[in-house]
Amino acid sequence: MSSTGVVGYKTQLARTQGQKKDSKPRRAAASRASERAPQQFWCPDLVSTRDLGPLGVEAILRLAEIMKSCPTDFQETLKGRQMVMFFEKPSLRTRLTFEAGMVSLGGSAMFVDQTHERLDAREKLSDVAHNLERWVDLIVLRTFSQDTIDAMAQHARVPVINALSDLEHPCQALADYLTLIERFGDAKSRCLAYVGDGNNVAHSLLLTAACLGSSIRIATPQGYAPDPQIVADARAIAAETGAEIYLLTDPREAVAGADAVYTDAWTSMGHEKEEDERARIFPPYQVNAELMAEAAPHAVFMHCLPAHRGLEVTDGVMDSPQSVIFEQAENRLHVQKAILYLLLGGGDRLPARSAYV
């Protein structure tokens, strides 16, 4: 690494792998996810934003900014490392940003298309994990069930990354907040309004906002609010960081004066049978010019993509100067490079405290 002021990160790989090999399983089912200490920084996996806590979220965002500014400094930092990705759902941004990110750090990436059957359909998941840990250095999963990711992390002695599940999308939310920091200079003094379905993206935005001490308002129809345990965990973190969390049903109340307006598909993958019903319920939550006018004049529009133009958002908003959707997509690459670097022990010194929060 060149001497450009880039601050390294202390490697914990040996210690982490030793913990996973010698200790009892760290995780049970997803119902016990709330037991993870949010203050933990050095974590063996990124299964949930809760694995990172405030210090981990801050470190990833700081490192992602450095890697984005000085990409050549990190070109060989993961040389010889191998990553495998198992995806039960289709992907454009997630797959390509992980592959490009790993290769740009000097490692190699392998992809297994699991869209035709679930990961544990042919053999016991623990058997899959014990095979993979002998062949590769890191596992990336994009699954329907959070339980699949929890179980893989429990059994595999190499790092596991949640690249999307029905419960969380941690990499997306980290990239979203990197985008906000780039635009506004900080997250703590900003308010993000999310309108639509209280889904996995909403969950990870809640947890990330809580870790950063930021303000978030989430407006959903009755019956589509975020998971109560996720909300409870976010509020527990917020009690330490000073974050503000509001759960609403009125999209205009959520958006009023906000610095960012965010939405996602009304019907997530795996809920296609509910599509007609949701199409009747969600139109008041469409992000259009009228709703954006309720936000602050400098407000940006955000979407994790793919977007259903004409449903959750209009073309006018998607293609407006306020839209930062492609900045979000780009930042998936930089955030995921930072995650790979940290989980695989790419550095050997702790960072100075960030000015982000």
Give catalytic status of residue 93 as yes or no.
no
Indicate which residue of 50, 169, 190, 303 is catalytic. 169
Give catalytic status of residue 332 as yes or no.
yes
Whether the per-residue pLDDT at 332 is higher than 80: the answer is yes
Residue for token pair 């985008």: 179
Give catalytic status of residue 264 as yes or no.
yes
pLDDT given for residue 323 in this prediction: 98
pLDDT tens profile 85-103: 999 999 999 999 999 999 9
> Closest Cα partner for 176 from 109, 263, 112?
263
Whether the per-residue pLDDT at 357 is higher than 60: the answer is no
pLDDT tens profile 153-195: 999 999 999 999 999 999 999 999 999 999 999 999 999 999 9
Contact in structure between 137 and 77 (CB atoms under 8 Å): no
Q: What is the mean pLDDT of the chain?
A: 88
Please give the Cα distance from 200 to 213 (Å, whole number): 20
Longest Cα–Cα distance in the chain: 57
> What number of other Cβ atoms are within 10 A of residue 11's Cβ?
17
Indicate which residue of 81, 264, 286, 322 is catalytic. 264
Indicate which residue of 43, 171, 191, 304 is catalytic. 304
pLDDT given for residue 170 in this prediction: 98
Contact in structure between 26 and 152 (CB atoms under 8 Å): no
> For the chain, what's the residue count?
357
Indicate which residue of 142, 155, 303, 334 is catalytic. 142
Indicate which residue of 172, 322, 328, 336 is catalytic. 172
Q: ω before 306 within 30° of 0 (cis)?
A: yes
Between 146-155 and 125-132, two packed helices, what is the crossing angle to 10 degrees? Answer: 50
Tokens standing for residue 246: 């509001």
Whether the per-residue pLDDT at 15 is higher than 50: the answer is no
Give catalytic status of residue 172 as yes or no.
yes
Side-chain-side CA neighbours of 176 within 13 Å: the count stands at 33
Side-chain-side CA neighbours of 265 within 13 Å: the count stands at 14
Whether the per-residue pLDDT at 150 is higher than 90: the answer is yes
pLDDT given for residue 349 in this prediction: 35
Alpha helices in 39-168 (DSSP H): 53-69, 93-104, 125-132, 146-155
pLDDT given for residue 272 in this prediction: 82
Residue 113: beta bridge partners? 87
Between 170-184 and 200-212, two packed helices, what is the crossing angle to 10 degrees? Answer: 50
Among 115-119, 203-207, 230-234, whose mean pLDDT is lowest?
115-119
Could you tell me the domains of the chain?
A: 13-168+332-343 (3.40.50.1370), 172-329 (3.40.50.1370)
Contact in structure between 251 and 284 (CB atoms under 8 Å): yes
Whether the per-residue pLDDT at 54 is higher than 80: the answer is yes
Whether the per-residue pLDDT at 22 is higher than 50: the answer is no
Give catalytic status of residue 169 as yes or no.
yes
Contact in structure between 212 and 58 (CB atoms under 8 Å): yes
Q: What is the 3-state secondary structure (H, E, C) of 44-75?
A: CCECCHHHCHHHHHHHHHHHHHHHHHCHHHHC
H/E stretch holding 200 = helix 200-212
pLDDT: which is higher, 306 or 23: 306
Average pLDDT over residues 8-14: 32
pLDDT given for residue 42 in this prediction: 64
Side-chain-side CA neighbours of 79 within 13 Å: the count stands at 6
Percent of the chain clearing pLDDT 90 (strictly above)? 82
Mention every residue, 6+ apart, whose C-beta is less than 8 A from residue 212.
54, 57, 58, 177, 187, 188, 241, 243, 356, 357
pLDDT tens profile 212-267: 999 999 999 999 999 999 999 999 999 999 999 999 999 999 999 999 999 999 99
Give catalytic status of residue 304 as yes or no.
yes
pLDDT tens profile 278-325: 999 999 999 999 999 999 999 999 999 999 999 999 999 999 999 999
Indicate which residue of 166, 332, 334, 336 is catalytic. 332
